[in-house]
Amino acid sequence: MSESAVKWPSGRGRFVTFEGGEGTGKSTQIKKLADRLKAARMRILVTREPGGSPGAEIMRHLVLSGMGKLLGPEAETLLFAAARDDHVRTLIQPALNQGTWVLCDRFADSTRAYQGSLGRVPAALINAMQRVTIGDLKPDLTIILDLPVEIGLQRAAARRGSGTPDRFEAEKLGFHQGLREAYRKIAADDPARCVLIDANSDPDTVAGRVWTALRDRLLPTPASVVSV
């Protein structure tokens, strides 16, 4: 089904999040999807976490510089939560209310995977933070990009060049393997929201898989397709 043949849903915008380990291609795929949706004259907001809003970008600097790590996993989780609170209130929710589709590079699943599964922060704290920061807001679709960790880390290193790895890229291989497993579990536990996508192909092939997932989950059934 081409974009021009689709009767796009109206009303509130749709919230699509991209998740996965380091270098799995989230930014690359968000850009490709945004271009395709813009070509279909959809109103799109592309954003990211940590960050996205001015207040949250300040928090981003704090956590990715490694300062949050010095405070311990619980305090680091609170920093991500504070950033998310600002991001949701000032950017994501207003955009969705105006009918804009929001494509977000990482969201609450990153906290579950990085701080929960790997940082051993208790689920009760993560759940409490989630209630405060995002309330009932839940992504309509979460794309989880899945890739052998060695390939993801190679891609991230090639992109970085001579730059320094950030706080999480610098973790050991076992951390990244655990991360991949944590994301696979998130996908298996919530199949109505999440789609696990094989990201070990060229960017256009992966983009085709992402498009198929979005079409199957968020677009109207063929009965409501406008013929061209």
Quick one: which segment of 86-94, 111-119, 129-137, 212-220 binds ligand T5A (CB under 6 A)? 111-119
Q: Which is nearer to ligand T5A, 19 or 140 (CB)?
A: 19
First to last CA, the chain: 11
Long-range contact set of residues 197-205: C-beta below 8 Å, sequence gap at least 24: 197/143, 197/144, 197/145, 197/146, 198/146, 198/147, 199/20, 199/24, 199/25, 199/29, 199/145, 199/146, 199/147, 200/146, 200/147, 200/148, 200/151, 203/25, 203/28, 203/29, 203/32, 204/32
Q: How far is the CB of 219 from ligand T5A (least distance, A)?
A: 24
Which residue from 13, 16, 22, 33 is in contact with ligand T5A, where contact means CB under 6 A? 22
**Tokens matching residue 160:** 């970085």
Which class for 99: exposed (0-12), middle (13-18), buried (19 or more C-beta within 10 A)? Answer: middle
Q: Are residues 228 and 5 in contact, defined by beta-carbon separation less than 8 angstroms?
A: yes
Distance CA 141, CA 154 (A): 28
Confirm or reject binding of residue 49 to ligand T5A (CB under 6 A). Answer: yes
Quick one: which segment of 20-28, 36-44, 87-95, 123-131 binds ligand T5A (CB under 6 A)? 20-28
Q: How far is the CB of 192 from ligand T5A (least distance, A)?
A: 22
Q: Are residues 215 and 163 in contact, defined by beta-carbon separation less than 8 angstroms?
A: no
Binding mask 159-198 for ligand T5A (x = CB under 6 A): x------x-x------------------------------
Q: How far is the CB of 23 from ligand T5A (least distance, A)?
A: 5
Q: How far is the CB of 93 from ligand T5A (least distance, A)?
A: 17
Transcribe 123-183 into DSSP letters.
HHHHHHHHHHHHTT---SEEEEEE--HHHHHHHHHHHHTTSPP-TTTTS-HHHHHHHHHHH
Q: Which is nearer to ligand T5A, 25 or 178 (CB)?
A: 25
Quick one: which segment of 19-27, 189-197, 208-216, 220-228 binds ligand T5A (CB under 6 A)? 19-27
Q: Which is nearer to ligand T5A, 99 or 177 (CB)?
A: 177
Q: Which is nearer to ligand T5A, 4 or 181 (CB)?
A: 181
Q: Which is nearer to ligand T5A, 174 or 203 (CB)?
A: 203
Which residue from 79, 126, 144, 156 is in contact with ligand T5A, where contact means CB under 6 A? 156
Q: Which residues bind ligand T5A (CB under 6 A)?
A: 20, 22-28, 48-50, 80, 105-106, 110-111, 114-115, 155-156, 158-159, 166, 168, 202-203, 206
